[in-house]
Structure 1
Amino acid sequence: MRITVVAALAVAVPLLAACTENTRGDADSGDERTVAVTSTDDGCELSAVEAPSGTLTFDVTNDGSQVTEFYLLDEDGLRIVGEVENIGPQLSRELVVNAPAGTYLTACKPGMKGDGIRADFTVTESGDEPSISADEQELVDAALANYQAYVQDQSDQLLTKTQEFVELYKNGDDDAARALYPVARTHWERIETVAESFGDLDPKMDAREADLEEGQKWTGWHLIEKDLWPQEAVDYTPLTDKERATYADDLLTNTEILDSRVQKLTYTVDQIANGSRGLLEEVALGKVTGEEEIWSHTDLWDFQANVDGARVGFEGVKPIVEQSDPELAETLDARFAELQELLDAQRTDDGFVYYDELTPEQVQELSNAVNALSEPLSRLTAAVLS
């Protein structure tokens, strides 16, 4: 069954990559729904600038010397429709999205910096309207309703915890603020791929210092994190009370904006599946390396939250996958359980051990479990769309 056009998208949210990584292969399939993308250090060439609506595959090859990314953006250039990140030189990855008719932008981002090399892309109306049975529609409706409720609840909890955190931080109650920091961020990390779809908010709220571009003003969670754990920084000058209030109020304002947008979102089942894959990619690219919470070392809280969100996304569409690919559903159940067992082994009464307390062997074991889950999870969207 083909179910991706059910429940139209009211506001764009990320159709994050259902992706695979391999060495150079045949990028030109001759299929009008497959677009070959060649990214270089100074170019972004597409085999077509138009495709019919429905399930599209962007086969992205990096012919440059830097790691690159590829994005499909809404016509405003801000909202991310789909993305694949961390494509090394001479490697290829696929982005699979369900795109309705409309005007979009494509962007290659050599070096993963800046706005990228952008071009217009058009999706034309294909007129290929799928039909599904009442039983299939019931599965779809349940998945959409449950996921929407989950994201709305997590966003509401994020706002509540951020309000508490901001007050503690502004009042100088640093011990309590440090204790609440990873707890509040748990709600952000569980819906991180949804939050990241708002290209204007994510850099303001979650930018890491190491990832700042030239001239970019640093604000958000990680700036405050550094101020709460100054002993981890070299030659650090603490923020003044006025600066604390400014950055804390800014974080709260942006969280309020995020929540107001999230409460209005609706989803499609392929967005749920791609979001699940995207959250695990967040683990692989930041949490398992210990780079996300470089000052507080609370990476395992984030790690667990990303896994929570990925699992909820998978379980929402699992009844659909069990019909199209029952073996994949069974494999994903087992791989999620194996990764969760490793995370549970690092729990404490207050949450988790700090990431810098893990041994290299424990980090490697977690990394291996993430990789073992990533491969079958990369096939989730295809199973949903089949």
Structure 2
Amino acid sequence: MSHSAGSASPRPASQRLMHLAVVGAAALVVAGGVAFYYASKGARQGVAGDAITVTIKDGVCDPNTITVAAGPATFTIVNKSDRALEWEILDGVMVIEERENIAPGISQTLQAKLKPGDYEITCGLLNSPRGTLHVTPSAASDAEAARPALRAYLGPLAEFQVFLVTQANSLVKVTQALDGAIRAGDLEKARQAYQSARTPYKQIEPMADQFADLHNTIDPVADFLERREQDPAFTGFHRIEYGLYTDKRTAGLEPYSAKLLADVTALKDRIRGMRILPEQIARGAQRLVASMAATKVAVGVDHYAQTDLADFDANIAGVSRMMTLLKPVAMTAAPQVVADIEARLTDIDNALKSLRGPDKFPAYDSVNGDSRKALSQKMQALADAIGKFNAAVGLE
């Protein structure tokens, strides 16, 4: 859970930047206080009741309108369509919970801790009409509104916000370089910029993918679109990847790189104004790693560039950073949970290092099934370890 970064030596011109950084950090601390206020009103996890079955067929949820009481709820998602699908609970554009890659004829169970309000649910492909989830107040949610403030999380929240903003700024900068290389028609430079841009995005993915509208334009995978690579909704990183590595050209990619740049800029702005709850950090990390364990490690998502190992490495670096920020708060209450998470992170780091070549990671299609299975198991062990964190420190 440790993370180190080099620091540049002081320069006279840096004084103004340092001043702005201090002001920005102070603003982030205030933002952390606001986030803490909302966190103090969150509900503790209880025992979910009977599962609510949602059947998806022909792009429609049955039932299409669901009402549940606030607190823990369990949903069983049944895929009766002929395509793999995702099921998400959305609060506006924010993803509350999700299940990915539900195969045809298969059902998966999802547990969510829900606050009172109205939410949307996805019903198959990304462009299918959405259903409605009504969450009514309950005695448990009213009682939890009085939960005491957890001031120890103010520092980690502010530091996490700084980390997110820094990575988002880097993402915009390298995406500008990608757009410039595509417009210049420089295929090799565009490929290098594409791979560089993936790193900051993957490091902040646990938070970035909560903005469903932007996530679905920045990083959609063709597998989940009706017409796959020919679908109009196939945009963002993977559309550019397809052009650079399958078509092997930059021509025609200019509209996609321009849109990607606009979308990551919008993401940066949203991240700057994000109000993060303490429990979101571990929950976001756990959700991402569980998704990697369940499907991404097995089949990959970088189908054209085969750069999945670099993506995984960046994802784990981001998760490690997130858990490191929470470590000082958790050491007294849950030292064993912290130690388990650190051990699992080290295990994955060593596994990735063993797959790395002298200069870079190999193409993912050269990684055999046994290695993928072993890596997937290590990811699941990490997801399970992180999944214990919030309850261990009293956040659930």
Compare 332-341 and 252-261 and name the one that shifted more: 252-261
Q: Where does residue 315 of structure 2 map in the other structure?
A: 306
Partner residue of 2:77 out of 39, 56, 62: 62
CA gap of 1:326–1:106, structure 2 versus 1, over 3 A, is farther
Distance in 1 separating the partners of 2:331 and 2:101: 31
CA gap of 1:123–1:4, structure 2 versus 1, over 3 A, is farther
Q: CA deviation at 1:113?
A: 5.0
Q: Where does residue 166 of structure 1 map in the other structure?
A: 179
Q: Where does residue 154 of structure 1 map in the other structure?
A: 167
Q: CA deviation at 1:270?
A: 1.0
Letter in 1 for 2:111: E
- Counting only pairs closer than 5 Å after superposition, residues 23-102 of structure 1 correspond to structure 2 as 36-42=51-57, 43-44=61-62, 49-52=67-70, 56-65=71-80, 69-74=86-91, 76=92, 78-86=93-101, 89-96=106-113, 99=115, 101=116
Distance in 2 separating the partners of 1:306 and 1:118: 31
Distance in 1 separating the partners of 2:327 and 2:129: 35
Letter in 2 for 1:155: A
Distance in 1 separating the partners of 2:133 and 2:374: 43
C-alpha offsets along residues 104-132 of structure 1, whole Å, 9 cap, x if unaligned? Answer: 2142535x554465124135371544454
Q: Where does residue 342 of structure 1 map in the other structure?
A: 351
Letter in 1 for 2:244: L
Partner residue of 1:6 out of 9, 22, 36: 36
TM-score (norm 1): 0.78
Compare 291-300 and 203-212 and name the one that shifted more: 203-212
TM-score (norm 2): 0.76
- Asked if 2 retains the 8 angstrom alpha-carbon contact of 1:87 and 1:93, the reply is no
Q: CA deviation at 1:297?
A: 0.7
Distance in 1 separating the partners of 2:245 and 2:211: 28
Q: CA deviation at 1:141?
A: 0.7
Compare 156-165 and 290-299 and name the one that shifted more: 290-299
Q: CA deviation at 1:163?
A: 0.7
Q: Where does residue 241 of structure 2 map in the other structure?
A: 225
Distance in 1 separating the partners of 2:376 and 2:270: 34
Distance in 2 separating the partners of 1:46 and 1:34: 20
Partner secondary structure for residue 265 of structure 1: coil
Q: Greater helix percent: which structure?
A: 2
Partner residue of 1:188 out of 193, 201, 214: 201
- Counting only pairs closer than 5 Å after superposition, residues 248-287 of structure 1 correspond to structure 2 as 248-287=257-296
CA gap of 1:44–1:210, structure 2 versus 1, over 3 A, is same
Q: Where does residue 105 of structure 1 map in the other structure?
A: 119
- Asked if 1 retains the 8 angstrom alpha-carbon contact of 2:76 and 2:109, the reply is yes
Distance in 2 separating the partners of 1:161 and 1:189: 13
C-alpha offsets along residues 254-310 of structure 1, whole Å, 9 cap, x if unaligned? Answer: 111111111111201111111111221342355413431111111111101111222
Q: Where does residue 324 of structure 2 map in the other structure?
A: 315
Letter in 1 for 2:38: A
1:289 aligns with 2:325: no
Of all paired residues, the percent bearing the same amino acid is: 24
CA gap of 1:49–1:154, structure 2 versus 1, over 3 A, is same
Distance in 2 separating the partners of 1:314 and 1:337: 13
Partner secondary structure for residue 72 of structure 1: strand
1:327 aligns with 2:336: yes
Q: CA deviation at 1:358?
A: 2.0
Give the RMSD, CA atoms, in angstroms.
3.2
CA gap of 1:341–1:119, structure 2 versus 1, over 3 A, is same
Letter in 2 for 1:6: F
Q: CA deviation at 1:94?
A: 1.8
CA gap of 1:127–1:377, structure 2 versus 1, over 3 A, is closer
- Asked if 2 retains the 8 angstrom alpha-carbon contact of 1:336 and 1:373, the reply is yes
C-alpha offsets along residues 143-182 of structure 1, whole Å, 9 cap, x if unaligned? Answer: 2111111111110110011111111122122112212322
Q: CA deviation at 1:86?
A: 4.4
CA gap of 1:117–1:254, structure 2 versus 1, over 3 A, is closer
Partner residue of 1:208 out of 212, 216, 221: 221
Q: Where does residue 363 of structure 1 map in the other structure?
A: 372
Distance in 2 separating the partners of 1:354 and 1:122: 45
CA gap of 1:313–1:115, structure 2 versus 1, over 3 A, is farther
Compare 331-340 and 342-351 and name the one that shifted more: 342-351
Distance in 1 separating the partners of 2:166 and 2:323: 18
Partner secondary structure for residue 207 of structure 1: coil
Q: CA deviation at 1:5?
A: 7.8
Letter in 1 for 2:242: K
- Asked if 1 retains the 8 angstrom alpha-carbon contact of 2:66 and 2:132, the reply is no
- Asked if 1 retains the 8 angstrom alpha-carbon contact of 2:88 and 2:99, the reply is yes
Q: CA deviation at 1:190?
A: 1.1
- Asked if 2 retains the 8 angstrom alpha-carbon contact of 1:84 and 1:94, the reply is no
Distance in 1 separating the partners of 2:65 and 2:255: 47
